[in-house]
Structure 1
Amino acid sequence: MAKVSKNLPKKSDQAVRIDIGISEKDRAAVAHELSKLLADSYTLYLTTHNFHWNVTGPLFNTLHQMFMTQYTEEWNALDEIAERIRALGHYAPGSYKQYADLASISTPENVPDATEMIHTLVLGNEAVAKTARAALKRGEAANDAPTVDLLTRRLDIHEKNAWMLRSLLA
């Protein structure tokens, strides 16, 4: 009969303890910050997609395409953020109520004109960048390199999106 290492869990154990070099307390703190980022990101995704569907005016084609590029990128990022939360041993939020409770941004109640859409998306991207920056500090403090990498990429994208959108308002 093969020997079983003392470090391996027994078959009767409910779950395998996470031991990735980050304490449970730090993993919980990072996951909480990432959950706020996920909520803000989902809210921004939903707003951007809504504007893609409903934009009108002389810049219709330009904005329709730009919004589609941005919401598609944002949609793909949602999965990456949620999966990082799961890798840290926590459940990712996934309901509108959870997102409303965690998000720092809200969705507009009415369909604004194109200029207001652009302005709203500038503010939304900046808000997501601020949320990512707060999470980045928590990830750095926990020496969580994968989270830091993810957040650095998210910051780059949202700061660039805000700049591009802001340029349309000049």
Structure 2
Amino acid sequence: MKNYIGITDESRQAVAEQLAKLLADEFLLYTKTRNAHWNVEGPDFHSMHLFFESQYEQLDDIMDSVAERIRSIGHYAPATLKSFLNLTHLTEQVDSKNDSMTFLKELLEDHFSIIEFIRGNIDPFASKYHDYGTSDFITGLMETHEKLAWMLKAHLK
């Protein structure tokens, strides 16, 4: 069936490939935030347990919206752990400490990495691929990640 959204097949393919990488990053960040929620220890346990929960709930919504955007431009979203690990720019947790500061620092760096990746795709999606909808969509995601990063960073002062 022909896709009638006004974007060439080649452009939709290129955008979908970048969105698949973003989805993988979002999934890994979600998993790492869940890990922080489940395993944080220390005198600030309760407040940090709730804080990480609020963060992973927002990341869950982001993941869903990225996957749905991939589908809306006519492609299938990756949905296996293997595909996510092959596509992600992020790494698994390297520090085995379960204190809030360790989790906060690592999650903050991951948000920064995602923000940088998104920022690098805003203009190409619009100008090179003529997909203004996805460009606008990821601009909103970038703003959400900037706010999530701010919340993490505020705990580190």
Task: Tell me if TM exceeds 0.5.
Answer: yes
1:152 to 139, 145, 155: 139
After superposition, the C-alpha distances for 1:79-123 in whole angstroms (9 at most, x for unaligned) are: 111111111111111111111111010221535322110001101
1:42-61 paired onto structure 2 within 5 Å = 42-61=27-46
**Contact 1:48–1:67 (Cα < 8 Å) also in 2:** yes
Partner letter of residue 112 of structure 2?
E
User: Shift of residue 34 of structure 1?
Assistant: 0.5
User: Shift of residue 157 of structure 1?
Assistant: 1.1
Q: Distance in 1 between matches of 2:123 and 2:87?
A: 18
User: Shift of residue 51 of structure 1?
Assistant: 0.5
1:125-136 paired onto structure 2 within 5 Å = 125-136=111-122
User: TM-score, normalized by length of structure 1?
Assistant: 0.85
Name the count of aligned residue pairs. 155
User: Shift of residue 46 of structure 1?
Assistant: 0.4
Q: Distance in 2 between matches of 1:69 and 1:58?
A: 19
After superposition, the C-alpha distances for 1:127-161 in whole angstroms (9 at most, x for unaligned) are: 11122222323321223232122211110111111
**Contact 1:38–1:78 (Cα < 8 Å) also in 2:** yes
Q: Distance in 2 between matches of 1:155 and 1:27?
A: 20
After superposition, the C-alpha distances for 1:56-93 in whole angstroms (9 at most, x for unaligned) are: 11221221111111100111111111111111111111
1:84 to 48, 51, 69: 69
**Root mean square deviation of aligned Cα:** 1.4
Which consecutive segments of 4 or more residues in structure 1 shift more than 3 A?
109-112
Q: Distance in 1 between matches of 2:55 and 2:83?
A: 23
Q: Which structure would you say has the larger Rg?
A: 1
Mean CA deviation greater in 23-32 or 125-134: 125-134
- Percent identity of equivalent pairs: 36
2:89 to 104, 127, 145: 104
**Contact 2:41–2:98 (Cα < 8 Å) also in 1:** no
**Contact 1:132–1:155 (Cα < 8 Å) also in 2:** yes
**Contact 2:118–2:138 (Cα < 8 Å) also in 1:** yes
Partner of 1:120: 106
Mean CA deviation greater in 17-26 or 42-51: 17-26
User: TM-score, normalized by length of structure 2?
Assistant: 0.92
Q: Distance in 1 between matches of 2:18 and 2:120?
A: 7
Q: Which has the higher helix share?
A: 2
Provide structure 2 residue ranges, at least 5 long, that are not aligned to the other structure: none
